[in-house]
Amino acid sequence: MIDNIEYNTEREKLIIPEYGRHLQKMVNHAMTIEDDAERAKVVKAIIDVMGNLQPHLRDIQDFKHKLWDQLFIMSDFKLDAESPYPKPSREELAEKPEPLDYPQNFPKYRFYGNNIKRMVDVALSWEEGELRDALIITVANHMKKCFLNWNKDTVDDDVIFKHLVELSDGEINLNDKDITLATNFQNKSNKRQDHPKAKNTNKRYSNNRNNNKNQPRKRN
């Protein structure tokens, strides 16, 4: 009896392990069916079982298309069945995706991030006026906030103005203007506030505790 035991190391490797070995055996059995009508009936039943095993994918677009592609992949592209979708090929599956275009810029002050440089470029593209000046002040305040997130110590406004000159290639210079940047960037809403009911409850608890101390103990 021990001689008939099968170990996973001795079995064939599962192509899509999440469906399990029993479904792989169903696919292998479907490939051995010679009658086209009977094979089509078995393939349809396998697709239904695969859909029941992946209920979280039902809301995905082209859910059935995904199941049919996985069925042909599990059959090593050898299953002869009529599919409502184009059959995938081995070459298409092995094809590598196109590499993504990652930004290759290396900013001098990385703690500001790339968005600050984009905001500076947008400010430079605007016409001179109050709106542009307001945007520049907003950018400078955000730069100071980013600097303090990177370095918890205080920072002088002159340092931010100097960095802003470098990021704008000398187009934006706030050194000669009487401008003071914001100093408090903490979120005041994070401060804990005691609820009035909680205060009253604590007050009653404190009064009851004091009254109990003043009362004499009863002897048994």
Find all residues with CB under 8 Å of 21, minimum gap 6, and list them.
11, 14
Amino acid at 56: H
Give the pLDDT of residue 99: 85
Give the pLDDT of residue 220: 47
- Specify the DSSP element, H or E, that contains 220: none
**In 110-195, which ranges are continuous DSSP H helix?**
114-125, 130-150, 157-167
The token duo for 61 is: 């677009």
Give the pLDDT of residue 153: 78
Helix, strand or coil, per DSSP, at residue 194? coil
Give the pLDDT of residue 79: 92
Query: Where are the chain's structural domains?
Result: 2-94, 110-187
Helix, strand and coil in the chain, % to nearest 5 = 55, 0, 45
Give the pLDDT of residue 101: 78
Give the pLDDT of residue 188: 43
Q: What is the pLDDT along the chain (220 residues), one digit of tens a residue?
A: 566 776 777 778 888 988 998 999 999 999 999 999 999 999 999 999 999 988 887 777 788 899 999 999 999 999 999 999 998 888 888 888 888 877 666 567 888 888 888 889 999 999 888 999 999 999 999 999 888 888 877 888 999 999 999 888 888 888 888 888 887 765 444 444 445 555 555 555 555 555 555 555 555 4
Spatial separation of the C-alpha atoms in residues 111 and 163, rounded to whole Å: 12
Whole-angstrom CA distances from 13 to 8, 9, 178 are 8, 8, 73
